[in-house]
């Protein structure tokens, strides 16, 4: 008995082409195992693979561009709405205006100076309250 005869085992397997999947018999132990039921399927699978690889490349590129676009815009969902960074910036300015107004109230100042600090405080707080009102309107 030769080793060829021992290794000649017929096994059932399935065609590797996704749209076929047909069962076929192949002889194990003789060279590279067949992946496809036919030469037609082998060629078609190669075409399918190249097409899918091309599509994946196009989609990868679209995804890369879209992510770049998202990063470039930051978070600006709607007209007139602040990004989190803009909100933080406005709050810092309001905090500064409040500190200055508190200081002139405590230490006293000319009415002209008091008026200036009060105006600055109003200008700093008004847009924050407007933004809060916009957010509240969206939640409601
Ligand atoms: Zn097939």
Q: Is residue 92 part of a domain?
A: yes
Contacts of residue 127, defined as CB under 8 A and 6 or more positions apart, other chains included, come to: 90
- The answer to whether residue 116 scores a pLDDT higher than 70 is yes
Closest CA to 27 of 41, 44, 10, 3: 10
11 secondary structure, DSSP code: E
Instruction: Give me the number of domains the chain comprises.
Output: 2
Q: Ligand 1 centre and the CA of 45: distance in Å?
A: 9
Confidence of residue 15 (pLDDT cuts 50, 70, 90): very high
- How far, in Å, from the CA of 33 to the mean position of ligand 1? 14
In a domain, 63, yes or no: yes
Using one digit for the tens of pLDDT, what is the confidence trace for 84-103?
Answer: 888 888 899 999 899 888 88
Report CA(35)–ligand 1 centroid distance (Å).
Answer: 9
From ligand 1's centre to the CA of 41, what distance in Å?
Answer: 5
Domain boundary among 56, 72, 88: 72
Whether 67 is in a domain gets the answer yes
Contact 68/38 with Cβ under 8 angstroms?
A: no
Name beta bridge partners: 28.
9
- Provide the whole-model pTM: 0.42
Query: Is 3 inside any structural domain?
Result: no
Which domain covers residue 123, as residue numbers? Answer: 79-139
């Amino acid at each position: 008995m030769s080793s060829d005869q021992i290794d000649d085992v017929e096994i059932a397997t399935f065609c590797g082409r996704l749209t076929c999947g047909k069962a076929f018999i192949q002889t194990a132990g003789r060279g590279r195992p067949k992946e496809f039921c036919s030469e037609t399927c082998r060629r078609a699978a190669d075409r399918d693979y190249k097409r899918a690889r091309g599509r994946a490349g196009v989609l990868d590129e679209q995804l890369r561009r879209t992510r770049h676009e998202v990063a470039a815009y930051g978070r600006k969902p709607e007209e007139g709405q602040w990004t989190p960074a803009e909100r933080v910036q406005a709050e810092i300015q309001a905090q500064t205006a409040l500190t200055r107004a508190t200081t002139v109230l405590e230490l006293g100042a000319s009415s002209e100076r008091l008026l200036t600090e009060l105006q600055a405080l109003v200008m700093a707080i008004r847009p924050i309250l407007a933004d809060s009102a916009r957010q509240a309107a969206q939640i409601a």
